[in-house]
Amino acid sequence: MSFWNDGADIADQAAPDGPIETRWERRQFSAKLVNPANRRKLTVIVIGTGLAGGSAAATLAEAGYKVRSYCYQDSPRRAHSIAAQGGINAAKNYRNDGDSVYRLFYDTVKGGDFRARESNVYRLAQVSVNIIDQCVAQGVPFAREYGGLLDNRSFGGTQVSRTFYARGQTGQQLLLGAYQALERQIGLGNVEMNARHEMLELIVVDGKARGVVVRDLVTGEITTDLADAVVLASGGYGNVFFLSTNAKGCNVTAGWRAHRKGALFANPCYTQIHPTCIPESGTHQSKLTLMSESLRNDGRVWVPLARGDSRKPGDIPEDERDYYLERIYPSFGNLVPRDIASRAAKNVCDEGRGVGPGGLGVYLDFADAIARLGRHAVEEKYGNLFEMYQRITGEDPYVVPMRIYPAVHYTMGGLWVDYDLQSTIPGLFVIGEANFSDHGANRLGASALMQGLADGYFVLPNTINNYLAAGPFEKLSADHPDVVAARTQVEDRLAKLLAVDGDRTVDSFHRELGHLMWEYCGMERTEEGLTKAIGLIRGLREEFWARVKVPGTGEQLNQNLEKAGRVADFFELAELMCIDALHRAESAGGHFRGESQTPDGEALRHDDQFSYVAAWEYGDTPTLHKEQLDFEYVHPSTRSYK
Ligand SMILES: Cc1cc2nc3c(=O)[nH]c(=O)nc-3n(C[C@H](O)[C@H](O)[C@H](O)COP(=O)(O)OP(=O)(O)OC[C@H]3O[C@@H](n4cnc5c(N)ncnc54)[C@H](O)[C@@H]3O)c2cc1C
């Protein structure tokens, strides 16, 4: 029995061809515009207020559209983007170190292991420079050098310094900028903000996305909202693994509901495992903490040379240490991309050379940097990260090396979108981490903030016009049969979750699902493991629907009910992730197939068979549509950071 059906190939019809440098300009010129006077007759729903959704809602409203915005947090500025620490890339070349739009494009296509679209990535690199100008104009306090220029540091997978940062709080500062822009439009009456509301269904009428069904998380009231277009900026789905660096609330529901209504889901198995996280400390934990990649600018990664060496780090002499990243990858050293650094950490731990409880950790050591730069300089750059580490572990990283281990961090997969960021449902646009668009099989550090803001401030506000130019669309009322059906679906599902009244908590199911995913669809995947996982996930899902206990009612604040709905969707997503990982019998970036590696253990791609985006159509048995990838500029080669 096959786990999937093969469907027809698909293509990105919106991307212009011709010279890559002018594709974006030509797309903007060829796209239809909406006259400013007509924009106020058009309404757009934006789900999400992170960097992608916040910037999009503010920009669309600034352009004159009526916007209704939703988030499940109590304030738009609590979106998960606020957690981003290390920085945002841009090809400004302030350091005069050989950077350019082309180099950022090249690094990103290569870093993504040749599984991203060239057109999208080139546009991202072009737009990156505008983002910094926009944010500086908003007052985002980027770090500056003594002379006043914006400072830069390096992130993995690059040999230039192009990462702009605000200490270890870059996401927070960028989000405050987007939030101010959003608040301005809320104040002007152009954006209606609905915090504490969760989208539970997409409304599709005559094949077009026309609205959403939402639940007021405080009162439990269910309402429908209708508009001319819907934008999903609902973030990533790393929490399918239960433990991840994501905020606890991050989930896949908005995207998954759209997928069930016809939006293709692309590359679901591409998960980023970040190499520098604080190791798990026990079963009481509900999330993991990232230590920003920026720390690898100055921290050196090492483990003892000998297996089972349990001496304190300070007692291990230099010649008995293995600075394995510097040894194996001399060109990039500690700044190899995340997928490479994570796998290398796993390998040394598998060899029995890991440190800390259970041997699941490696050292990130700042002794050299402190000796070279002085403690004050290190504190200036990373002070808040060091403090966070000390608070969590009780160890002082200025004195003993940090212990780190890989953890789930980001999802490159997401809803399939074309060059216009439109999904396969007309009128449904998807931006930020929720789409699959720009990072291929592996995202380079500091590129998620870049993509979210590129999509929200610059790309979507241009491309959505082309769709809205045909509007305003037919006026719909709440008693339209498709609207009623979507609402009924939500009500029935909530009632079903409450009616099970079993004996196991939602969290216990989520934890077990996450464990399965980490074990079989985590850092290394095999055909045997994935096949087993699909069976186990199906069994656990059945048990969930028979035994889950959701106390309380639907007519009140009920966080168990919220979680139950999200975990139910995670079950379906998890199965698709395993099917996607199973069908892709190659290693690429964040997807490492045990059967497909070079003699020295590096990822082995099979470009002749898998140089495509896997776009999945929903069904009891999902259908695979392939979008073939062409590489005219950056030719696929063996990715080497040695
Ligand atoms: C700890 C950490 C540090 C990071 N550091 C960096 C970094 O330094 N540089 C970098 O480039 N990237 C970094 N990243 C990645 C980056 O932060 C995220 O990819 C990015 O912020 C995602 O932005 P977003 O706008 O797409 O989604 P989010 O910020 O996740 O926002 C999602 C929004 O959607 C809303 N939402 C979701 N579902 C629903 C629903 N059903 N109904 C209503 N609303 C909904 C939420 O309420 C929220 O407002 C980091 C990630 C983590 C976890």
- Residue 561 sits in a domain whose CATH number is 3.50.50.60
pLDDT value of residue 1: 67
Task: Kindly state whether residues 479 and 453 are assigned to the same domain.
Answer: yes
Ligand 1 in contact with 432 (CB < 6 A)? yes
Domain final residue pick, 408, 433, 458: 408
DSSP state, 529?
A: H
The answer to whether residue 622 is domain-embedded is no
Q: Is 164 in the pocket of ligand 1 (CB under 6 A)?
A: no
Strand order in the sheet with 362-365: 271-277, 402-411, 362-365, 300-304, 321-322
Q: How far is the CA of 149 from the centre of ligand 1 (A)?
A: 28
Q: Is the CB of 85 under 6 A from ligand 1?
A: yes
Number of domains into which the chain is organized: 2
Question: Residue 579: inside a domain, yes or no?
Answer: yes
Q: Is 622 in the pocket of ligand 1 (CB under 6 A)?
A: no
Whole-number Å distance, alpha carbon 616 to ligand 1 midpoint, is: 23
- Check whether residue 403 and residue 417 sit in a common domain: no
pLDDT of residue 638: 87
Residue of the nearest CA to atom 50 in ligand 1? 84
Distance CA 358, CA 536 (A): 26
Are 282 and 340 within one domain? yes
CA distance 406 to 347: 11
Picking from 408, 439, 472, the residue at the C-terminal end of a domain is: 408
286 in the same domain as 304: yes
518 shares a domain with 420 = yes
Q: What are the counts of helices (DSSP H) followed by strands (DSSP E) for the chain? A: 18, 20
Residues with active-site annotation: 338
Output the domain CATH number for residue 402: 3.90.700.10
- Give alpha helix (H) positions in 198-283: 253-260
Q: Is 580 inside any structural domain?
A: yes
Are 252 and 283 part of one and the same domain?
Answer: no
167 CB-near residues (< 8 Å, 6+ apart)? 143, 381, 382, 383, 384
Edge-to-edge strands, sheet with 197-205: 197-205, 208-216, 222-226
Q: Which residue numbers in the chain have pLDDT < 50?
A: none
Tell me: do 241 and 291 sit in the same domain. no
**Calpha distance 250→313 (Å, rounded):** 36
Q: Do the domain assignments include residue 581?
A: yes
pLDDT at 57: 98
Domain boundary among 374, 408, 442: 408
**Does residue 2 lie in a domain region?**
no
Tell me, yes or no, whether 639 lies in a domain: no
pLDDT at 18: 96
Tokens 């931006």 locate to 431
Q: Do the domain assignments include residue 630?
A: no
In which domain, by residue range, is 240 found?
16-270+412-612
User: Based on the domain organization, do 533 and 550 belong to the same domain?
Assistant: yes
Say if 629 falls within a structural domain.
no
Asked if residue 55 has its Cβ within 6 Å of ligand 1, the reply is: no
Q: Are residues 508 and 479 in the same domain?
A: yes
Are the CB atoms for 167 and 295 separated by under 8 Å?
A: no
Same domain, 36 and 181: yes
Question: Hey, whose CA ends up nearest to atom 38 of ligand 1?
Answer: 234
Question: Do residues 266 and 293 both lie within one domain?
Answer: no
**Which ligand 1 atom is at minimum distance from the Cα of 170?**
8
Taking alpha carbons only, the member of 426, 560, 586, 574 closest to residue 494 is 560
- Position in ligand 1 atom list of the atom nearest CA 257: 41
Going by C-alpha positions, the residue among 184, 159, 164, 186 that lies closest to residue 174 is: 164
Say if residue 477 is in the same domain as residue 397.
no
Does the predicted model carry a pTM greater than 0.75?
Answer: yes
For position 155, what pLDDT does the model report? 82
